[in-house]
Amino acid sequence: MKVTPALALSVLALVAVSCGDTGGSATSQAATVDFWYYQPTPQQADKVKRLAKDFETANPGLKIKLTEIPKDDYNTKIATALNGGNGPDAGYLDQPQMARFAGGRQIAAVPARTIDESAYYEGALETNRVSGTLYGVPLQQTTVVLFYNKDYVQTPPATWDQLVAESERVHRENPKVAGVALPKGDGFGAWIFPAFVASAGGTMVDENARKVTFNSPQGQEALGLWRTLLASSPRKITNTDQAFQKGLAAMTFSGPWDVLGIREQFPQLKFGTALLPKKLEDASTIGGENGVVFSTADNPDGAWKWLKFLSSADHNAEFADITGNFPVNRAAAAKSTLAGDQDMKIVIDQLQSARSRPALPEWIKVNDEFIAKAIEEGVDGGRSPAEALDTAAVRAAKALGW
């Protein structure tokens, strides 16, 4: 083809325009990371926005788009968005959801050397591991401790034997007061139960052997403890709403949300917190949210940088304080505004021994339906702890495909 002067000028003009457009786009438009998280209060939202601005300042060329989703709607909305191909780059994921999303290949594995795993509480980090692979970064966590009423309990029990003895003493001396407001056969009670199994030296499952183990002798001991405590902790007393807060139970197992709730709603109650009484070793359960990068992310590199920022020693305490939970980064824990509060400090100490739940897609079903039922039957019902747990184990194994 013959190149005329006019054609050459036209080509040069197009090249110039093209190069100019590309260069302008690269320098004037920041790459966006769309991050979905639970809808906060207006005050909390302002603080998260400030964190995002700090990140953007430290990472020129990256911009954080914060999308607030009501917590009750979050799982439904994220699933709908991902199925429709409109999901965000990164977002929250409740700990027991990790296995389901990883199994569905909806979340990406954490790239090698993205984080220093030793920087995190072990329990918090392990909630992100599915079949040996890390699929997320812990962002915030919480756990359960012992609450005790100082009018009835001067020295909190440190062992199971002391817990039983103290419960019996309180109820004997104060027949209208229960020793312990015991967990019930529901999802919350089933969430607490593994802490006692672990304290006795047991486990909930053996994933490698594909075997349910919560009906082991250690699991039976744990449920047996609750059944023993029931004699000095009658349900006719503790079935009252907020029995501990109203002074009707001398002790209970709960989390930091009740520290704040009691102070605000029951300021007259003199209470303290302590580590959960143990059988063989300190143990508790763990809750909270992880940060994940979705497989369909447009900007995965930026998303991992943002999650690393939120979970870092420099920023994790601030982020956890905003959400009302606790840092997952060990170095950040001392910087938390909660660290100076003695009752909250106990929670931070308990996090050292908090254990992750089994990372299995059907674990929520196992927890809410089978373990909860075993508590109902083995503590309050007419079945022994062994019988109740054996039945639950058979059902759980079937649900897990084992």
262 & 321 share domain: no
185 is in which domain, residue-wise?
Answer: 143-285+356-400
185 & 279 share domain: yes
122 & 197 share domain: no
Q: Is residue 4 part of a domain?
A: no
Distances (CA, A) of 91 to 33, 51, 173, 241: 10, 15, 52, 35
What does the pLDDT read at residue 338? 87
What does the pLDDT read at residue 252? 98
- Cα–Cα distance measured from residue 102 to residue 204, given in angstroms and rounded to the nearest whole number: 21
Residue 126 in 3-state DSSP? helix
Strands 133-134 and 129-130: what pairing? antiparallel
Long-range contacts of 186-190 (CB under 8 A, 24+ apart): 186/368, 186/372, 187/367, 187/368, 187/372, 189/372, 189/375, 190/367, 190/368, 190/371, 190/372, 190/375
Helix pair angle (217-230, 385-400), 10° resolution: 130
241 & 164 share domain: yes
Q: How many CB atoms lie within 10 A of CB 306?
A: 25
Evaluate whether 218 touches 200 at the Cβ level (below 8 Å).
yes
259 & 381 share domain: yes
281 contacts: CB under 8 Å, gap ≥ 6 = 198, 199, 201, 353
- The CATH number covering residue 273 comes to 3.40.190.10
Query: How many angstroms from the chain centroid is the CA of residue 216?
Result: 26
CA angle 272–276–280, rounded 5-degree value: 150
270 & 382 share domain: yes
Q: What is the torsional sign of CA 285, 316, 126, 134?
A: positive
Task: Give buried/exposed letters for 169-178 (b at 16+ CB in 10 A, else e).
Answer: ebbeeeeebb
83 & 188 share domain: no
Residue 109 in 3-state DSSP? coil
336 contacts: CB under 8 Å, gap ≥ 6 = 317, 320, 321, 326, 327, 348
272 & 163 share domain: yes
What does the pLDDT read at residue 164? 98
Tokens 């005790």 sit at which residue?
148
Query: What is the total count of domains within the chain?
Result: 2
DSSP 297-337: -S-HHHHHHHHHHHTSTTTHHHHHHHHTSB-SBHHHHTTST
Per-residue pLDDT in tens (0 to 9) along the chain, 402 residues: 434 444 333 333 333 333 333 333 333 467 999 999 999 999 999 999 999 999 999 999 999 999 999 999 999 999 999 999 999 999 999 999 999 999 999 999 999 999 999 999 999 999 999 999 999 999 999 999 999 999 999 999 999 999 999 999 999 999 999 999 999 999 999 999 999 999 999 999 999 999 999 999 999 999 999 999 999 999 999 999 999 999 999 999 999 999 999 999 999 999 999 999 999 999 999 999 999 999 999 999 999 999 999 999 999 999 999 988 999 999 999 889 888 899 999 999 999 999 999 999 999 999 999 999 999 999 999 999 999 999 999 999 999 999
- Cα–Cα distance measured from residue 302 to residue 68, given in angstroms and rounded to the nearest whole number: 19
- Cα–Cα distance measured from residue 306 to residue 317, given in angstroms and rounded to the nearest whole number: 15
Evaluate whether 66 touches 49 at the Cβ level (below 8 Å).
yes
58 & 160 share domain: no
Q: Is residue 3 part of a domain?
A: no
Determine the straight-line distance between the first and last CA of the chain, rounded to whole angstroms: 71
Give the CA dihedral 172, 174, 175, 179, nearest 10 degrees.
Answer: -70
Q: Which two tokens stand for residue 292?
A: 């994940």
307 & 225 share domain: no
| Domain limit, last residue, from 320, 347, 374 | 347
Give the CA dihedral 191, 196, 199, 202, nearest 10 degrees.
Answer: -80
Half-sphere exposure at residue 267, Cβ-oriented, CA atoms within 13 angstroms: 1
